[in-house]
Chain A
Amino acid sequence: GAVVSQHPSRVICKSGTSVKIECRSLDFQATTMFWYRQFPKQSLMLMATSNEGSKATYEQGVEKDKFLINHASLTLSTLTVTSAHPEDSSFYICSALRGGSSTDTQYFGPGTRLTVL
């Protein structure tokens, strides 16, 4: 199988603090990882594409200075929510891209529930 982990699974923080979320591919190497956020009863919204060894590509409307992404190795990408505010409260999910050509499938982590007070 393809296993992707996220840590922490749940975090509560005060407004103005920064929070780091880790995404790891446990049994395969991932040159590319993706970060999504999901609001209640809505689908996944892509925030950014994380490429190992290079800068992340952000989707339109996503503040790159607020959501810092680092992809320092083939198995680890991190998302840091800087100066978090209550409106940043959401479910953040990462995925890792496995394989190439016809077998390029995104495998998702279990998600991180962020609550900003």
Chain B
Amino acid sequence: EDQVTQSPEALRLQEGESSSLNCSYTVSGLRGLFWYRQDPGKGPEFLFTLYSAGEEKEKERLKATLTKKESFLHITAPKPEDSATYLCAVQEMDSSYKLIFGSGTRLLVRP
């Protein structure tokens, strides 16, 4: 059965304290792995798509990496405005384009 597991469930950081979020996945064939950011009461905001092991993508203080079993979202010198829930999702190599979401990591960055 396809699964996506994110850890930790919640993470509290001081402003400037770098850390990483983990997303481990089990899927028969990976078309892509997606990272989204979700603020309370809003829809998810697209951040990155990774397609193959070894791929990396960056956007401001965020950097996403991918292996055959997991993905990491590295946050460098976070700011309070980075506080949000970060969602990981995988898309199978089928024709449905459906996303299988993890339960998310709630990040709080304190000033």
Contacts and interface: CB of A to CB of B under 8 A. Distances in A.
B104 A43 contact: yes
Interface size class of B (residues with CB under 8 A): 20 to 34
A44 B44 contact: yes
Interface in B1-56: 31-32, 34, 36, 41-46, 49, 51
Interface stretch (A60-68, A71-79, A101-109): A101-109
Nearest to A94: B43
Interface residues of A, number: 25
Contacts of A102: 32, 51
B88 to A, nearest CB: 10
Interface of A: 2, 4, 6, 32, 34, 42-44, 46, 49, 57, 91, 93, 95, 97, 102, 104-111, 113
Interface of B: 31-32, 34, 36, 41-46, 49, 51, 87, 91, 96-99, 101-104
Given A34-B98, A49-B97, 10 more contacts: A4-B43, A6-B43, A44-B101, A95-B43, A105-B49, A106-B99, A108-B36, A108-B43, A110-B43, A111-B43
9 contacts: A6-B43, A91-B41, A93-B44, A102-B32, A104-B31, A108-B43, A108-B44, A110-B42, A111-B41
